[in-house]
Amino acid sequence: MIVAEILEGFKTVWSRGPKGIIRKYRCTDGPKKGRVVAKPVTCTSGLNLKQSAKMKTTRRSRGVKQAIKRYQRLQHPTSIRLRKLNRPRPKYKRKAR
């Protein structure tokens, strides 16, 4: 972990984008902790309560459809590549015997 990541409150991750794999940020503290955002400045901004309430109702009404679409999306080769990119790296390599 880099010192800037501790001070700033975000961690770099990779995500799907319109032209392939792009870099995004996961908030490690603040009101949007755990969320993946496009800009690290977004981590410290406030929540939009109207928008979050609307999204909760949308999830309740379309939950099954979203789950099916999510399963199909996770089978895509780009998503499989992303899982490998976002996996934490070991701090040392083991030597072969």
Identify which has the larger pLDDT, 51 or 2: 51
Sign of CA dihedral 55, 42, 37, 21: positive
* Res 53: pLDDT: 96
* Res 95: pLDDT: 74
Q: What is the pTM of this model?
A: 0.71
What's the pLDDT band for 96 if we cut at 50, 70, 90? confident
Instruction: Quick: pLDDT tens for 44-89.
Output: 999 999 999 999 999 899 989 988 998 998 998 989 999 999 998 8
What one-character-per-residue DSSP string does 61-81 give? HHHHHHHHHHHHHHTSHHHHH
